[in-house]
Amino acid sequence: MKRRSPVVRSTALSVLPWIALSALAAASLGCRGETSRETPIIPLRNMYDQPRYNMQETNDLFDDHRNMRTPPPGTVSREMEVDEAIGKGRLEDGSGYVLAIPQAVVDRSGGMDALVKRGQDRFGIYCTPCHDGTGSGDGMVVRHGMLKPPTFHQDRIRHLPDGQIFATISNGVRTMPAYGPQIPVADRWAIVSYVRALELSQERIAAETKP
């Protein structure tokens, strides 16, 4: 059996620390999420720190110096519902509210059952804190001092057009805030469908328990 010479052995031992340091450096470079106190290196400064304008700020690029521009005539946002009956809950001639949930909304949702189920989910998120789970108006925030909203289980609200309930959700009324910017159109109609389902269920319960 041959033995390594002392020179070869000492050379191998001297190289081992450098191999270990190299492996450690490679491992540290591969780590993610570590913080550093060093100044970040930004190759394209203009992409990192872009010029911007605030709302209502002047802008010298335009003759009128207005930064907030009026959209060109006929412009429609991608999120806008162009059908008045669906987007606002009103009749085409503006004379009143649609009486029932537009059929197009029901079809888009996959049927009335799917719409009501979605409405139950959204109602639990946005409406239950004030109106409680049954729509009686005894939600948690009411118990903590907020003005009690009207119950859904009264003839006045039962006979409101569906479009008016949709508009109330969209625009708010009295102490109720407007949820139009927060809840999509389809979900607002879904909530309307669930409110109607709550009214029917509570009316049936009241009839069954009536002496």
Per-residue pLDDT of the chain (211 residues; tens, 9 = 90+): 555 555 445 555 565 666 666 665 555 555 556 777 877 776 766 666 677 788 888 888 889 988 888 888 888 777 778 888 999 999 988 889 999 999 999 999 999 999 999 999 999 999 999 999 998 888 898 888 888 889 999 889 999 999 999 999 999 988 888 998 899 999 999 999 999 999 988 766 555 444 4
**Residue 209 confidence (pLDDT):** 46
**Residue 205 confidence (pLDDT):** 56
Q: What are the angstrom distances between the C-alpha of 184 and each of 16, 59, 81? A: 64, 33, 10
For residues 25 and 19, give the distance between their C-alpha atoms in angstroms, rounded to a whole number. 10
**Residue 13 confidence (pLDDT):** 52
3-state secondary structure of 168: helix
For residues 175 and 125, give the distance between their C-alpha atoms in angstroms, rounded to a whole number. 18
The residue among 175, 24, 11, 186 whose CA lies nearest residue 89 is 186
Q: Could you tell me which CATH number the domain at 84-206 has?
A: 1.10.760.10
**Residue 22 confidence (pLDDT):** 65
3-state secondary structure of 176: strand
For residues 160 and 199, give the distance between their C-alpha atoms in angstroms, rounded to a whole number. 12
Q: Are 193 and 102 in contact (CB under 8 A)?
A: no
Beta bridge partners of 173: 176
For the question of whether the overall pTM of this predicted structure is more than 0.95, the answer is: no
For residues 130 and 138, give the distance between their C-alpha atoms in angstroms, rounded to a whole number. 7
The end-to-end CA distance of the chain, in Å, is 107
**Residue 160 confidence (pLDDT):** 94
**Residue 8 confidence (pLDDT):** 47
Q: Are 82 and 76 in contact (CB under 8 A)?
A: yes
